[in-house]
């Protein structure tokens, strides 16, 4: 079945940017994009809204008036003033020991000569990040690559410096790393735990599925090596809760390509392997075009995501945790009514540092001079950030301006949208449509999943 | 009651929900609390439920200086036990289960009979008694507000499990006279009032609970509130209503300057028009003439609606915007601001300052000066100074608009450069000669008429600013820019009104006296004669240039010193120009003359 033939894709197609209707099975609902608001509406109102939605014009305006919040829209056309920098990613080593064919960093070197970040760049980056934060604020440093563990010493020095500077200025620091895990040592795990790292392991499936997509440059598969290397990490993750002292969270990040489309098997396999969270990222734009998803593939991805979502829902309704990160994140966002004119913090609170000290809108734009945002010594270039945020505002994107999902999706990854356009809108809407229904069902039957206000609090 | 048809479900929907029947002004963003944070609710209502499952009243003396004659009444009195509606007691942690059992068991039964008060509170090994021991050995219960302060000091629950995180033990004692009930101890925790990640208030609080005990408008509070809480919601000083048929100026204000400029008391008891006198300058003077308690309770409906400072009796219709046609493009508007409006604002500030220095110094009047001249000179000099200062603010707003347009990407070329050169021409209302040269002139009646014409609401400057406002109202511009332009447009009316006031005063007092008694001889000094003042003037321009440059780059905090220096230089310039004027010299702000 193609995407267009799927009933959920049909139901979630955009009719008007101001309203989306859905049936959760336990009731009928309106989703108002302005503020990402979810309402239960009676069957009578639901029918009337449906008529208004189809006829448009004044009838729809009148219908939407019932949801008016008596103020200006939650999001206007104007790009926000760039906030102070909250988060930097350091591309520690623009070189990698794996040879994943779809890699956005083109084998880790971003299509440019391979480079290891020199210490003075990392040092300046930490000073810039901590220097512009105020006491009491939190800053975050993410270590990326290539494979960042190739630059292990730099990571350690960077963390030590950031913790020291943060301590001196009353600024809280947090760290994360995205790694292929093949170089991870027990000493690394101890270090990550001591500094409460969030560790994301790139892994594309169980056994051969992963090996076909994530081989070493020699062609040999990486799965067994990953599993061996992360054993201490997964143990640290499990033991951390009890003592409450050193804490590390471990997630698996699965890049979805046409060659690993059995997502439910991957999800269950990786959860069984000991990961607390597993998230999927569809590969929509690879530098070579190889292994990127075509329209027909996306129909399968949606089908699989919905299956994973059903497994998640079933477990949650029975009161058991289930680490399907895409569903958990979507539910949190829907519950909070997250609405934003951007898909992420790129160019705003988040910038990425290249090995030679350039600042870029995000890690995927490293080396792209059109998205350069200053350098670590002089600090972020405010005007370039303004220009980027102005240009990338979802109100300026098409076909986003006519879509009900625009403030949940934010227009999709800037890098993918710029390089490949927006081929996955039906898929994204179909998934969000499913999540909206799931949200209402879980809230109806297991409200405590969202009731962090009830005792004892979640955090 | 029918089933509700639309029910908000997620957090943003709940936040934006308009409760049926509540007026729009009941939303937090419309609240007085915007002016007086914290006055929108009584925080004691949070602490009433500090301990899960119990609801207290903090019984306090009305007057904290009153004698402490009923000690058993005061303190934290248990109002009622609320187990069923309190989600915090429904938790699954061992402590929550234990508390729930206690409240539904013997402890709860005991607490349901008689008057129970908190006797002591213990947390982290510290036990505080809610009473003191008097000299004769008797126990003196603390006042309720004192207990409340102690309760506010408790550490709230921070993390799971509740059992290990600052548990709170309450000792409860029955104060019913003759009761033999044994004291009750309960172990719980200090409730978290809001969710740490979403800020949503605990569901333990019932709708309306946060608002109980607040003041009520339309009652004595409206008249008497000592902290001026309601003053933010009701006008104090207004101008009188314009009756149908009374002549108006183009901006909609009354042509009769007395009506336009006489401040009257909005709460005045005598509502007859002929009785509306100018109000006194402080509260006590006006009190006897304001509605009294019984009046405000019974006849508050007679208080007028006020729009733009004036009372309105009938249906109000807004005056037409004066031909406010938006500019064709952001670039066109920026060009007008850069080349015409900003320079003209500076020129006017300087023309006004020069004219001010031609007015006699009230401190050095000869003994035979007309009786009212002292007060009139004070008044005129002050009003002109206010207007000049306002023009300088407009210069800054004009610059801010320019850098705002550049910053937001609406104007890309040329880049922002501070505009700090005066215009050498000024628009006039004369169609045949729409521009006159900028001139430094003493404040003769003719010059005053010219100032009034310049500031007229339909004159060129106001017209241009109206067009700027109309342009910036489009949503594609950053919202704060239009507020700057609106401020300038509104101020223009004030300037116009002030100059007319000055003219009314001078005409009434001195008619067409020649020479004009309020003037002193003045000629434009040479740059050498006025060296100090000119140097000061250039310091002002230099510091403003530096401040605007920094502010345009977003470094507001770094512009502070330059702004402070510019202001200090403005004060010095004023002193220097007064010293020169005493010698018959005016500051040559420009040298074309």
Q: Annotate B293-340 with three-state secondary structure.
A: HHHHHHHHHHCCEEECCEEECCCCCCCCCCCCCCCCCHHHHHHHHHHH
A75: closest chain B residue by CA: B475
Residue B202 Cα, gap to closest chain A Cα (Å): 6
Query: Cβ(B578)–Cβ(B532) under 8 Å?
Result: no
A439: closest chain B residue by CA: B10
Q: Any idea which residue has 């219960």 for tokens?
A: B141
Query: Can you give the pTM of this predicted structure?
Result: 0.62
Query: Cβ(A146)–Cβ(A94) under 8 Å?
Result: yes
Contacts of B475 in chain A (CB under 8 A): 76-78
Contacts of B29 in chain A (CB under 8 A): 71
B404: closest chain A residue by CA: A81
Lowest mean pLDDT among A280-289, A383-392, B210-219, B471-480: B210-219
Contacts of B554 in chain A (CB under 8 A): 81, 382
Q: Do B93 and A38 touch (CB under 8 A)?
A: no
Q: What pLDDT sits at residue A107?
A: 56
Pick the closest to residue B569 from B531, B529, B541, B591 (CA basis).
B541
B-contacting residues of A 147-186, CB under 8 Å? none
Facing residue for A454 by CB, picked from B6, B27, B87: B87
**B84 pLDDT more than 90:** no
Q: Do A453 and B195 touch (CB under 8 A)?
A: yes
Contacts of A30 in chain B (CB under 8 A): 6
In whole angstroms, what is the distance from residue B467 CA to residue B473 CA?
Answer: 10
**B174 pLDDT more than 90:** yes
Tokens encoding B34: 């915007």
Residue ranges in A108-214 assigned as alpha helix (H): 119-131, 152-169, 186-194, 208-213
* Interacting residues of B27 by C-beta distance below 8 A, sequence separation 6+: A70, A71, B18
Lowest mean pLDDT among A140-144, B247-251, B450-454: B247-251
Tokens encoding B293: 């308690």
In whole angstroms, what is the distance from residue B231 CA to residue B223 CA?
Answer: 9
Q: What pLDDT sits at residue B306?
A: 83
Q: What pLDDT sits at residue B474?
A: 84
In whole angstroms, what is the distance from residue B322 CA to residue B131 CA?
Answer: 70
Lowest mean pLDDT among A65-69, A279-283, B97-101, B445-449: A65-69
Three-state SS string over B162-199 comes to: HHHCCEEEEEEEECCCCCCCCCEEEEEEECCCECCCCC
Query: Cβ(A446)–Cβ(A317) under 8 Å?
Result: yes
Contacts of A66 in chain B (CB under 8 A): 6
Residue ranges in A273-358 assigned as alpha helix (H): 295-317, 325-336
Q: Do B96 and A38 touch (CB under 8 A)?
A: no
* Interacting residues of B9 by C-beta distance below 8 A, sequence separation 6+: A29, A38, A39, A40, A440, A443
Query: Cβ(A21)–Cβ(A46) under 8 Å?
Result: yes
**B24 pLDDT more than 70:** no
Query: Cβ(B217)–Cβ(B181) under 8 Å?
Result: no
R_g of chain B, CA atoms, integer Å: 33
**A459 pLDDT more than 50:** no
Q: What share of chain B is helix, strand, coil (3-state, %, to 5)?
A: 45, 15, 45
Facing residue for A40 by CB, picked from B7, B16, B475: B7
Q: What pLDDT sits at residue B27?
A: 60
Tokens encoding A74: 């939650």
Q: What are the Cα distances from residue B459, in Å, to B347, B431, B454?
A: 16, 11, 6
Facing residue for A36 by CB, picked from B12, B18, B29: B12
Contacts of B197 in chain A (CB under 8 A): 452, 458-459
* Interacting residues of B416 by C-beta distance below 8 A, sequence separation 6+: B402, B403, B406, B407, B552
Pick the closest to residue A175 from A231, A131, A211, A129 (CA basis).
A129
Facing residue for A45 by CB, picked from B5, B409, B554: B5
In whole angstroms, what is the distance from residue B517 CA to residue B510 CA?
Answer: 8
B-contacting residues of A 363-392, CB under 8 Å? 382-383, 386-387, 390
Pick the closest to residue A79 from A408, A384, A415 (CA basis).
A384
**A112 pLDDT more than 80:** no
Contacts of A459 in chain B (CB under 8 A): 159, 196-197
Give strand ranges (E) for B73-146. Answer: 75-81, 116-123, 126-129, 131-133, 139-141
Q: What share of chain A is helix, strand, coil (3-state, %, to 5)?
A: 45, 15, 40
Q: Do B192 and A457 touch (CB under 8 A)?
A: yes
Q: How many CB pairs under 8 A join A and B?
A: 133
List B310's β-bridge partners, or say none. B239, B307
Query: H or E stretch including B419?
Result: none
**B219 pLDDT more than 70:** no
Q: What pLDDT sits at residue B367?
A: 87
Q: What pLDDT sits at residue B22?
A: 61
% of chain A surpassing 70 pLDDT: 93
Query: Cβ(B582)–Cβ(B518) under 8 Å?
Result: no
pLDDT band at B568 (very low <50, low <70, confident <90, very high): very high
% of chain B surpassing 90 pLDDT: 43
Q: Which of A413-427, B80-94, B386-400 has the highest mean pLDDT?
A: B386-400
Query: H or E stretch including A458?
Result: none
Residue B29 Cα, gap to closest chain A Cα (Å): 9
Residue B129 Cα, gap to closest chain A Cα (Å): 28
Q: What integer is the mean pLDDT of B131-159?
A: 87
**A396 pLDDT more than 60:** yes
Q: Do A455 and B91 touch (CB under 8 A)?
A: yes
Facing residue for B6 by CB, picked from A45, A334, A339: A45
A401 touches chain B (CB under 8 A): no
Computed over every residue of chain A, the mean pLDDT equals 89
**A453 pLDDT more than 50:** no
The DSSP bridge pattern shows strands B305-307 and B310-312 to be antiparallel
Residue of A455, A457, A458 for testing the chain B interface, max B β-carbons within 10 Å:
A455
In whole angstroms, what is the distance from residue B200 CA to residue B523 CA?
Answer: 69
A396: closest chain B residue by CA: B476
Query: Cβ(A14)–Cβ(A429) under 8 Å?
Result: yes
In whole angstroms, what is the distance from residue B422 CA to residue A21 CA?
Answer: 59
A453: closest chain B residue by CA: B195
Q: First vs last Cα of chain B: how many Å apart?
A: 81
In whole angstroms, what is the distance from residue B61 CA to residue B52 CA?
Answer: 26
pLDDT in tens, B342-395: 999 999 999 999 999 999 999 988 888 888 899 999 999 999 999 999 999 999
In whole angstroms, what is the distance from residue A401 CA to residue A397 CA?
Answer: 6
Predicted ipTM of the assembly: 0.88
By CB atoms closer than 10 A (0-12, 13-18, 19+), residue A243 is exposed
Q: What pLDDT sits at residue B283?
A: 74
A75 touches chain B (CB under 8 A): no
pLDDT band at A437 (very low <50, low <70, confident <90, very high): very high
Facing residue for A335 by CB, picked from B10, B16, B160: B10
In whole angstroms, what is the distance from residue B344 CA to residue A30 CA?
Answer: 54
pLDDT band at B249 (very low <50, low <70, confident <90, very high): low
In whole angstroms, what is the distance from residue A186 CA to residue B259 CA?
Answer: 85
Query: Cβ(B283)–Cβ(B274) under 8 Å?
Result: no
Computed over every residue of chain B, the mean pLDDT equals 85
* Interacting residues of B387 by C-beta distance below 8 A, sequence separation 6+: B352, B494, B495, B498, B499
B202: closest chain A residue by CA: A453
Contacts of A67 in chain B (CB under 8 A): 6
Give strand ranges (E) for B53-92. Answer: 54-59, 75-81
Contacts of B6 in chain A (CB under 8 A): 30, 39-42, 45, 66-67
Using DSSP's 3-state secondary structure scheme, residue A219 falls into coil
Facing residue for B9 by CB, picked from A44, A382, A443: A443
A334: closest chain B residue by CA: B10
Contacts of A401 in chain B (CB under 8 A): none
Query: Cβ(A424)–Cβ(A282) under 8 Å?
Result: yes
In whole angstroms, what is the distance from residue A38 CA to residue A441 CA?
Answer: 13
Higher pLDDT residue, B34 or B16? Answer: B16
pLDDT in tens, B272-328: 887 777 777 777 788 888 888 888 888 888 888 887 778 887 776 666 555 678 898
In whole angstroms, what is the distance from residue A107 CA to residue A93 CA?
Answer: 11
List A412's β-bridge partners, or say none. none
Residue A50 Cα, gap to closest chain B Cα (Å): 14
By CB atoms closer than 10 A (0-12, 13-18, 19+), residue A13 is middle
Q: Do B409 and A74 touch (CB under 8 A)?
A: no
A70: closest chain B residue by CA: B24
Query: Cβ(A62)–Cβ(A50) under 8 Å?
Result: no
B-contacting residues of A 13-42, CB under 8 Å? 29-30, 32, 35-42
In whole angstroms, what is the distance from residue A137 CA to residue A127 CA?
Answer: 15
pLDDT in tens, A177-236: 999 999 999 999 999 999 999 999 999 999 999 999 999 988 899 999 999 999 999 988
Pick the closest to residue B421 from B527, B333, B342 (CA basis).
B342
Q: Do B192 and A74 touch (CB under 8 A)?
A: no
Contacts of A407 in chain B (CB under 8 A): none
Strand order in the sheet with A20-23: A20-23, A28-32, A37-41, B6-8
pLDDT band at B496 (very low <50, low <70, confident <90, very high): confident
Q: Do A457 and B11 touch (CB under 8 A)?
A: no
Q: What pLDDT sits at residue A455?
A: 26
A216 touches chain B (CB under 8 A): no
Lowest mean pLDDT among A101-115, A324-338, B437-451: A101-115
Q: What pLDDT sits at residue A242?
A: 44
Q: What are the Cα distances from residue B24, in Å, to A33, A34, A141, B94, B296?
A: 22, 19, 44, 44, 24
Q: How many CA atoms lie within 13 A of A48 on its CB side?
A: 13
R_g of chain A, CA atoms, integer Å: 22
Provide φ and ψ at A25, rounded to 5°: 90, -25
Tokens encoding B13: 């929907």
């Amino acid at each position: 079945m193609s995407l267009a033939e799927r009933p959920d894709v049909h139901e979630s197609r955009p009719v008007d940017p101001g309203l989306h209707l859905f049936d959760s099975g336990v009731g009928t609902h309106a989703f108002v994009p302005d503020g990402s608001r979810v309402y239960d509406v009676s069957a009578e109102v639901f029918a009337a809204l449906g008529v208004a939605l189809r006829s448009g014009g004044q009838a729809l305006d009148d219908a939407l008036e019932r949801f008016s919040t008596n103020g200006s829209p939650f999001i206007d056309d104007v790009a926000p003033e760039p906030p102070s920098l909250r988060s930097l990613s350091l591309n520690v080593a623009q070189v990698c020991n794996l040879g994943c064919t779809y890699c956005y960093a083109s084998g880790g070197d971003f299509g440019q000569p391979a480079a290891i970040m020199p210490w003075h760049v990392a040092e300046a980056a930490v000073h810039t990040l901590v220097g512009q934060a105020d006491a009491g604020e939190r800053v975050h440093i993410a270590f990326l690559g290539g494979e960042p563990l190739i630059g292990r010493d730099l990571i350690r020095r960077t963390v030590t410096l950031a913790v020291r500077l943060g301590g001196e200025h009353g600024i809280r620091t947090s760290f994360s790393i995205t790694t292929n895990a093949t170089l991870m040592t027990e000493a690394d795990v101890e270090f990550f735990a001591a500094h409460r790292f969030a560790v994301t392991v790139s892994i594309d499936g169980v056994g051969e599925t992963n090996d076909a997509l994530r081989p070493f440059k020699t062609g040999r598969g990486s799965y067994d090596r990953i599993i061996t290397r992360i054993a201490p990490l997964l143990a640290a993750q499990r033991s951390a809760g009890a003592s409450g002292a050193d804490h590390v969270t471990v997630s698996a990040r699965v890049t979805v390509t046409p060659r690993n489309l059995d997502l439910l098997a991957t999800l269950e396999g990786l959860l069984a392997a000991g990961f607390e969270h597993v998230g999927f990222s569809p590969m929509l734009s690879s530098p070579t075009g190889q292994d990127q998803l075509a329209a027909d593939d996306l129909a399968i991805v949606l089908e699989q995501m919905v299956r994973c979502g059903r497994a998640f829902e079933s477990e949650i309704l029975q009161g058991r945790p289930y680490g399907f990160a895409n569903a958990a994140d979507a539910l949190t966002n829907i519950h909070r009514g997250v609405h934003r004119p951007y898909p992420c913090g790129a160019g705003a609170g988040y910038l990425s540092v290249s090995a030679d000290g350039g600042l870029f809108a995000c890690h995927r734009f490293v080396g792209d001079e059109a998205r350069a945002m200053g350098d670590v010594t002089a600090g972020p270039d405010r005007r370039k950030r303004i220009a980027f945020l102005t240009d990338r505002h979802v109100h300026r994107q098409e076909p986003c301006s006519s879509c009900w999902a625009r403030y949940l999706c934010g227009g999709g990854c800037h890098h993918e949208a710029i390089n490949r356009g927006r081929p996955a809108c039906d898929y994204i809407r179909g998934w969000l449509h499913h999540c909206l229904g799931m949200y209402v069902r879980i809230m109806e039957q297991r409200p405590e999943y969202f009731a962090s206000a009830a005792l004892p609090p979640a955090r | 009651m029918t089933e509700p048809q639309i029910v908000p479900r997620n957090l943003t929907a709940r936040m934006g929900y308009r409760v049926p029947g509540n007026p729009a002004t009941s939303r937090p963003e419309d609240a007085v609390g915007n002016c007086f944070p914290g006055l929108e609710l009584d925080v004691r209502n949070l602490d009433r439920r500090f301990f899960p499952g119990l609801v207290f009243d903090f019984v306090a003396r009305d007057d904290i200086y009153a004698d402490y004659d009923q000690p058993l009444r005061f303190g934290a009195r248990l109002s009622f036990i609320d187990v069923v509606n309190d989600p915090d007691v429904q938790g699954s942690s061992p402590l929550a289960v234990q508390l729930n059992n206690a409240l539904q068991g013997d402890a709860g039964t005991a607490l349901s009979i008689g008057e129970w008060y908190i006797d002591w509170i213990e947390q982290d090994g510290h036990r505080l008694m809610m009473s003191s021991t008097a000299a004769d050995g008797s126990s003196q219960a603390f006042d309720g507000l004192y207990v409340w302060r102690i309760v506010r000091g408790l550490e709230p629950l921070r993390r799971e499990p509740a059992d290990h995180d600052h548990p709170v033990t309450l000792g409860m004692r029955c104060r019913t006279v003759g009761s033999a009930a044994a004291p009750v101890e309960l172990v719980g925790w200090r409730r978290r009032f809001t969710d740490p990640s979403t800020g949503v208030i605990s569901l333990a609080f019932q709708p309306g609970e946060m608002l109980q005990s607040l003041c009520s408008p339309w009652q004595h509070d409206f008249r008497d509130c000592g902290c001026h809480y309601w003053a933010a919601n009701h006008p104090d000083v207004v101008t009188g209503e314009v009756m149908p048929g009374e002549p108006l100026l183009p901006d909609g204000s009354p042509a009769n300057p007395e009506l336009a400029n006489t401040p009257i008391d909005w709460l005045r008891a005598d509502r007859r028009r002929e009785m509306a006198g100018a109000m006194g300058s402080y509260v006590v003077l006006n009190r006897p003439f304001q509605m009294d308690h019984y009046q405000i309770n019974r006849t508050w409906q007679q208080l007028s609606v006020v729009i733009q400072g004036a009372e309105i009796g009938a249906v109000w219709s807004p005056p037409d915007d004066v031909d406010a046609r938006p500019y064709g493009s952001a670039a066109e508007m920026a060009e007008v601001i850069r080349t015409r409006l900003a320079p003209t604002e500076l020129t006017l500030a300087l023309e006004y300052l020069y004219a001010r220095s031609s007015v006699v110094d009230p401190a050095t009047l000869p003994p035979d000066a007309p009786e009212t001249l002292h007060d009139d000179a004070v008044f005129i000099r002050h009003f002109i100074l206010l207007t000049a200062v306002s023009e300088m603010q407009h210069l800054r707003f004009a610059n801010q608009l320019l850098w705002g347009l550049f910053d937001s990407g609406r104007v890309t070329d040329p880049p922002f450069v501070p505009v700090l050169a005066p215009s050498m021409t000024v628009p006039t209302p004369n169609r045949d000669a729409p521009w006159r040269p900028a001139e430094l002139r003493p404040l003769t009646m003719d010059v005053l008429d010219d100032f009034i014409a310049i500031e007229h609401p339909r004159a060129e400057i106001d017209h241009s600013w109206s067009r700027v406002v109309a342009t910036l109202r489009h949503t594609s511009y950053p919202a704060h820019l239009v507020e700057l332009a609106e401020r300038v447009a509104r101020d223009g009316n004030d300037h116009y009104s002030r100059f007319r006031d000055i003219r009314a005063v001078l005409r009434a007092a001195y008619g067409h006296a020649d020479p004009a008694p309020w003037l002193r001889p003045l000629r434009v000094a040479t740059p050498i004669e006025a060296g100090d003042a000119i140097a000061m003037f250039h310091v002002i321009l230099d510091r403003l240039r530096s401040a605007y440059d920094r502010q345009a780059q977003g470094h507001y905090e770094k512009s502070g010193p330059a702004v402070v220096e510019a202001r200090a230089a403005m004060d010095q310039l004023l002193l220097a120009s007064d010293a020169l004027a005493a010698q018959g010299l005016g500051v040559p702000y420009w040298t074309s003359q």
